[in-house]
Amino acid sequence: MLSSIDGYIIQDVLPVTLPASHNLTFGGATIDASEKVSPLKKVYLSLEAGTAPLTMDLTDGPLAFDFIIGIGKGGMAPLEIQLMDKQPGDSIQIHLHGDELPVLLDHLVVSFPFKPQSEEAFYLKLDILDVKTPESREVVRAMATATSCGAGCCGHHD
């Protein structure tokens, strides 16, 4: 299914039908897939980038990325909105240009593990590995990080 948000083309890929138990086996591990992405949940992603929808050649392999949904100073980033109601086993693919990544990520740009080498268009594939309720101290730490990245701040927090 294709959808669009803020001009980005988003494609849900690899739909997964979960068994009644809501457990999913991924990479040899069993994941409880009963939790969906929602505000203040910690989301664990695997991401890859490539020059074509089926060619993830801009990363050397899957990169790990996790964050807490909805703690940005300005609300949810466009990426977070696209992840809402997804659950472990779901994937999305986004087609965008390198200079659009900071807009898509908003406050998440500070810790995002992939930085495009050019402004050329590319595909970003995100696999939802797990969704958990974070501990209170994790939420507080993440909120502090989202509002400032230290001396010489990158300016992506306004």
- What is the C-alpha to C-alpha distance for residues 25 and 31, in angstroms, rounded to an integer? 6
**pTM score:** 0.73
Whether the pLDDT of residue 39 is over 70: the answer is yes
Whether the pLDDT of residue 85 is over 70: the answer is yes
Residue 107: give the domain boundaries.
2-147
Mean pLDDT, rounded, for 44-61:
96
What is the total count of domains within the chain? 1
Contact assessment for residue 143 and residue 73, using Cβ atoms and an 8 Å cutoff? no
Mean pLDDT score across all residues of the chain: 82
Residue-wise pLDDT tens digits, 107-148: 899 889 999 999 999 999 999 999 999 999 999 888 887 766
Domain contains 124:
yes
Q: Which one is predicted more confidently, 70 or 26?
A: 70
Domain contains 153:
no
Can you give the CATH number for the domain in which 10 is found?
3.10.50.40
Q: How far is CA 137 from the centre of its chain?
A: 21
Whether the pLDDT of residue 90 is over 70: the answer is yes
